[in-house]
């Protein structure tokens, strides 16, 4: 459809935001749109059910993994200055790095970390304190982190990898990670509503997360922020106004509004070029440098989302149309569906670009029983189950991880309907619940010609032989747990 001026009006956006947030029961949301050379914001609700203040475009929300776009861009500033090389081993800048696999530790490059092809598993759940040595201590614990593959073999989203990039920034600049990002990015860009430290946030209006309690009622998430060592991968608090200003910088030619050059245009725009392919993911068709790249209705987009214990963000840019939209919400599990719906609404009503989910196949009992099982990574467990009529997927933090944590962790996702997609790629989509619209695929073991398992699993997850061995969801690999131990 063609987007007309009525559909682009601030009133239309405000009405959509209020209606959708109310339907989903989300306490507070804010949506910002950059289109036709101007900003439009729509806000609804309150920062907290316990201590409510109206949400506006300057209210601080935690950006979660969208922080990675700041970490990556700060690294690119060092690349532009010749202080970091993308293809250099990360040990050149973090010589203290020790991993379970010495060969991997020596081979992982800066680019492997930036495009999630390092082979590192998702993360280590450990609190290394609030001191300036938090990242130093985190890197010292990385010898405990499992590896899911050889460096460069495949993409698998790694929070730990970006935290390690934070240590690169520290060692190269001689500053703390937070100070490095401020001096390299947020200060020259005039992002005056973007902070890492809780002491900076608490004197300003900020949102808190909410999750369902035991009775299903929304309650304030008491653990507001993750540990300091997770700042590079997910610790920035910012506002819709600042995030939209950040998007405008990414859409531009590397200049600040005052004309100062922060990055050569070719380096900034190069972050949008695909470095590795993704498969079967709603997040994108591939990674650039940090950014998820996706084609929507014939238009190329770059995007990144994030979540932190009941707070959610989705940021999408369309460079060829000089367009950006950001959605921020403060309630799980419906924050993700709200943000996703808001981004889709903006794409359609401002650009005439329609983003639709693929339609799953009818239930197939034989295929359902083949994929049903328990899958895990270092922190989480996915359970795919069938009752003979439908497939469901549930996502939970491992009980031992939750029990050992000395801080509140996000709520689990209850089992919700999922369906397999057409084609021979073992792809699926979640069709209900807080993960509605999330896509992924099941991977298989490689097999030799006589049907025996090869000693080397195929690095190509498209391999059609063998049994189901893993599941990819949210860009992360989860390995199947043998039935006897599930």
d(C-alpha 238, C-alpha 258), whole Å: 21
* CA 359 to chain centroid: 24
Q: What is the average pLDDT value for the chain, to the nearest integer?
A: 91
Q: What is the pLDDT of residue 138?
A: 97
Residue 372's CB is within 10 A of a number of other CB atoms, namely 15
Q: What is the pLDDT of residue 359?
A: 92
Enumerate residues 6+ apart whose C-beta is below 8 A from 371.
Answer: 384, 391, 420, 426, 428, 442, 468, 471
Residue in the structure block whose two tokens are 């922190």: 379
Q: What is the pLDDT of residue 460?
A: 42
Which among 277, 307, 269, 306 is positioned nearest to 294, based on CA atoms? 277
CA distances to 198, 269, 299, 302, 425 from 320, rounded to whole Å, are: 37, 11, 8, 11, 31
The values of phi and psi at residue 332, to 5°, are: -105, 155
Q: What is the CA radius of gyration of the chain?
A: 22
Q: What is the pLDDT of residue 453?
A: 34
Q: What is the pLDDT of residue 155?
A: 87
Name the stretches of the chain with pLDDT < 70: 1-7, 406-407, 446-465, 484-486
Give every strand in the sheet of 311-318, ordered side by side. 38-45, 28-35, 323-329, 311-318, 299-308, 292-296, 286-287, 276-277
């Amino acid at each position: 459809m063609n987007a007309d001026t009525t559909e682009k009006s601030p009133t239309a956006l405000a009405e959509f935001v209020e209606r959708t947030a109310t339907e989903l029961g989300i306490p507070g949301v804010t949506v910002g749109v950059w289109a036709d050379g101007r900003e439009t914001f729509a806000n609804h609700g309150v920062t907290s059910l316990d201590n409510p203040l109206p949400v506006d475009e300057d209210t601080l929300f935690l950006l979660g993994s969208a922080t990675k776009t700041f970490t990556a861009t700060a690294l690119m500033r060092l690349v532009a200055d010749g202080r970091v090389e993308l293809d250099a081993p990360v040990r050149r800048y973090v010589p203290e790095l020790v991993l379970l696999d010495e060969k991997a530790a020596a081979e992982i490059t800066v680019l492997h970390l930036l495009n999630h092809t390092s082979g590192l598993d998702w993360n280590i759940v450990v609190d290394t304190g609030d001191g300036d040595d938090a990242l130093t201590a985190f890197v010292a614990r990385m010898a405990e982190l499992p590896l899911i593959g050889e460096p460069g073999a495949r993409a698998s989203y790694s929070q730990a990898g970006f935290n390690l990039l934070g240590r690169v920034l520290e060692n190269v600049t001689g500053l703390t990670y937070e100070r490095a990002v401020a001096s390299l990015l947020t200060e020259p860009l005039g992002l005056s509503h973007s902070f890492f430290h809780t002491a900076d946030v608490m004197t300003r209006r900020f949102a808190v997360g909410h999750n369902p309690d035991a009775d299903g009622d929304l309650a304030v998430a008491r653990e507001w922020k993750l540990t300091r060592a997770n700042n590079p991968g997910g610790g920035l608090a910012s506002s819709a106004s600042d995030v939209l200003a950040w998007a405008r910088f990414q859409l531009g030619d590397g200049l600040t509004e005052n004309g100062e050059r922060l990055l050569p245009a070719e380096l900034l725009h190069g972050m949008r070029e695909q470095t590795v392919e993704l498969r079967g993911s709603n997040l994108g068709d591939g990674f650039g440098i940090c950014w998820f790249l996706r084609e929507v209705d014939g238009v190329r987009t770059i995007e990144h989302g994030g979540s932190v214990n009941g707070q959610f963000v989705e940021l999408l840019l369309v460079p060829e149309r000089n367009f950006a939209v950001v959605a921020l919400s403060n309630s799980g599990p419906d924050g993700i569906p709200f943000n996703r719906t808001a981004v889709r609404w903006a794409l359609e009503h401002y650009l005439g670009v329609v983003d639709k989910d693929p339609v799953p196949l009818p239930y197939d009992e034989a295929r359902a029983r083949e994929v049903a099982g328990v899958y895990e990574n270092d922190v989480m467990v996915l359970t795919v189950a069938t009752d003979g009529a439908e497939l469901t997927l549930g996502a939970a933090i491992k009980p031992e991880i939750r029990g050992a944590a000395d801080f509140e962790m996000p709520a689990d996702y209850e089992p919700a309907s999922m369906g397999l997609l057409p084609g021979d790629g073992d792809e699926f989509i979640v069709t209900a619940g807080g993960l509605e619209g999330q896509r992924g695929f099941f991977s298989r073991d490689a097999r030799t010609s006589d049907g025996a398992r090869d000693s080397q699993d195929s690095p190509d997850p498209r391999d059609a032989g063998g049994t189901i061995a893993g599941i990819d969801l949210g860009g992360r690999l989860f390995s199947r747990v043998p039935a006897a131990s599930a």
